[in-house]
Structure 1
Amino acid sequence: MPPKSASAIMLTFLGDHVLGRDVCVYSGSVIDVLARAGVSAEATRSTLTRMTGRGLLRRQRHGRRMHFGLTPLSTRILTDGSARLWRTGAVNDDWDGTWTLLAFSLPGERQRERHDLRAALAWAGFGSVQGGLWIAPGHPDIGPLAGAHIRVFHARADASTDVTEMIAGAYDLAALAARYTGFRSHWAPFDADAADPLAAKLHLVTDWLQIIRRDPRLPVRHLPPSWPAAAAQELFFRLNGALAPAAASIAAGLLETVPSGDDGDRPAAAADQLDA
């Protein structure tokens, strides 16, 4: 599996233990939890600072201790990730046949902008059919891509179009399949009974999220036979189910939380003078 960043593990932690609870978590207990997953205290502190600067976390003092809570932006990102994990899944077996078509045109001298737009399109689940025409199954979120140089349409393929061939030409299916087979190769031998449940669950969910967030959810009926996503997803659900109860119990014993918005008994101006 590709290496995981401290921020990726942090997001998994927040999604598992903070999302939906309306609490802020003491920074020291965040350090304790992520340390079990191999993240150093320095890396955790740096990640908390960076995520706060990016509007993904907010600080809240309680006495002399600094706590961190979610923001509307991080709540939206984590909610989207939760939907991909537990509702949408990795296997698109109920596609209704609709496509989102996106066309763009940028002058040749705007190469950097063209490169960035192509990267954003690929991240959003689009594949290049030809020239400036890109496609994605269903109705992906194109809000972040909107601009004067972009035109978006929704359509269905004509009967004369070989959809399987079109998908194979627009997407790197070998690379996508390799991520799922790599996940299975890494996690299939895993012994849940011999591992630290909290650390293992943080790594498991982070690995899985890194795959499915890059998966355009192509219609399975137009993918090669024995597409590996279903088997990988079954493995993920099985291991997560085995690890979840013990991981939640361990986290509950480590995490110190306060209600969101509660700054303790001190006035905010005085609290800001205290050490973290």
Structure 2
Amino acid sequence: MKHIDDCGQYCAQHRLAYAGAVTTVADHETEQGDDLSPGGTPRPQALLLAFLGAHVLGHDVQVATASVLEVLGRAGVSEHAARSTLSRMARRDLLRRTRRGRNVYIGLTGRSRAILLDGAHRIWHLGAVDHEWDGTWTLLGFSMPESWQRQRHVLRSRLLWAGFGSLQSGLWIAPSTVDTAPLLDGLGTDGHVKVFQARALPPTEVAEIVQEAWDLERIASHYRGFLDRWGDPGEAAAQAPDSLARHLRLEADWLQTIRTDPRLPRDLLPSGWPAEPAQDLFRGASTELKRAARDIAGGILDTIPDEPAGQDG
């Protein structure tokens, strides 16, 4: 088996993966809501995605459903909730199933692989703060008929996932150069959306733009919550019974923590911004747990080689 660990493969595939990831995740969240329960507990789908990213992506395998149920059970997910999540994700083309005798195995689809590659790139290579901003903003404005409630809702979800903030009614901005084509894909909004790239000029106060477009306190509270949950070794150990379960909960928690953070430029953030301390904590804890988690998984997971979809039984 192989595992994707080098930046080269992530970076080469990231641009292609991003389109599918933005569309699929944002559309799902439109229906399902936040993947963090009150108190920071990841929901079943977030934990399943963390499992797939750690133990299926890059390994060229499919995993028996029974194995997945056992792993998710260790992370605190009931069998009923786990089965419901697997079925829902299969219906949404996020999982594909293969039957071998009496056993059913699940593998990745193109859409779920795109989500996982995008998440891995965001976690390990982009960083929680932008240190290389050149001052370019992407502006997207839209005006749609009142009857287009679904299109507006989906577009707003996709914009939030892509790091945009709402500056005023119908005008969204992002502190970077953003390819907006994937955000508009399938919405039929031609003629109703305008996109620009621009730089702020006097008398515009960039700090005021940031305060108006993003709820910085809410974003910071997510990072502080993560630090509280994982900064105390005793409390972190209490999150789950073993390294495999803790690793999945840690990864799922972190991805949900950074999900709505637009990665603002360092110079635009208030002093004491908690993103990078939280990021350092996450990366250290993940590295520490990863080897033991893989060893435990190796004794649990029933796998078969992954095959093209056309060869599924």
Aligned partner (choices 167, 170, 177) of residue 132 of structure 1: 170
Indicate whether 1:246 and 2:292 are aligned.
yes
Deviation at 1:169, TM superposition (A): 1.1
Q: Deviations over 1:38-81 (max 9, x none)?
A: 11122222211111111001011122211000000000010000
Matched residues in 2 for 1:216 and 1:96: separation?
Answer: 15
Shift of residue 170 of structure 1?
1.0
Distance 2:199 2:181 in 1: 21
Letter in 2 for 1:212: I
CA distance in 2, matches of 1:126, 1:193: 35
Partner of 2:204: 161
Cα gap change, 1:46/1:110 in structure 2, threshold over 3 Å: closer, same or farther? closer
In structure 2, distance between residues paired with 1:69 and 1:255: 13
Work out the CA distance in 1 between the residues paired with 2:97 and 2:179.
30
- Amino acid of the structure 2 residue aligned with 1:60: T
* Change beyond 3 A, Cα 1:91–1:210: same
Alpha carbons 2:207, 2:268 under 8 Å: kept: yes
Query: Residues 79-134 of structure 1: CA distance to partner in whole angstroms, max 9, x if unpaired?
Result: 00000111012121121211111011123454564444334322322112223221
Contact 1:101 1:153 in 2 (8 A): yes
Q: TM-score scaled to structure 2, two decimals?
A: 0.79
> Superposition pairs for residues 90-129 of structure 1, below 5 Å?
90-108=128-146, 110=148, 113-129=151-167
How many residues get paired?
266
Deviates more, 1:68-77 or 1:110-119: 110-119
Give the match for residue 222 of structure 1: 268
Contact 2:237 2:246 in 1 (8 A): no
Q: Distance in 1 between matches of 2:179 and 2:220?
A: 23
TM-score between the two structures when normalised by the length of structure 1:
0.89
Cα 1:112–1:81 change in 2 (3 A) is closer
Give, as a single letter, the amino acid of the residue that structure 1 aligns with 2:160.
A
User: Where does structure 1 lack aligned partners over 5 or more consecutive residues?
Assistant: 272-276
Percent identical residues: 51
Q: Does 1:213 align with 2:259?
A: yes
Q: 49, 64, 67: which is aligned to 2:87?
A: 49
Q: Which is worse superposed, 114-123 or 43-52?
A: 114-123
Amino acid at match of 2:140: L
CA distance in structure 1 between the partners assigned to 2:65 and 2:149 by the alignment: 42
Of residues 245, 257, 264, the one that matches 2:303 is: 257
Is 1:188 the counterpart of 2:231? The answer is: yes
- CA deviations 1:225-259 (Å, max 9, x no partner) are 11110111111111112111101110111111101
Aligned to 2:45: 7
Which one-letter code corresponds to 1:173 in the other structure? L
CA contact (8 A) 2:40 2:225 kept: no
SS at 1:250's partner residue? Answer: helix
38-47 or 73-82: bigger deviation? 38-47
Give the letter for the 1:58 counterpart: R
Computed over aligned residues only, the root mean square deviation of the Cα atoms, in angstroms, reads 2.1
- Is the alpha carbon distance of 1:115 and 1:21 closer, same or farther for their aligned partners in structure 2, counting shifts above 3 Å? closer
| Conserved 8 A contact 1:125-1:140 | no
Larger Rg: 1
Q: Which amino acid aligns with 1:140?
A: V
**In 1, distance between residues paired with 2:180 and 2:106?**
30
- Is 1:231 aligned with 2:277? yes
| SS of equivalent to 1:153 | strand
Amino acid at match of 1:65: N
Find the residue that maps to 2:233 and give its secondary structure.
coil
User: After alignment, is 93-102 or 203-212 more displaced?
Assistant: 93-102
Report Cα offsets for 1:196-218 as digits up to 9, x if no partner: 10111111111100011211111
Of the three residues 48, 54, 62, the one matched with 1:24 is 62
Amino acid at match of 1:38: G
Bigger RCO (CA 8 Å, 6+ sep): 1
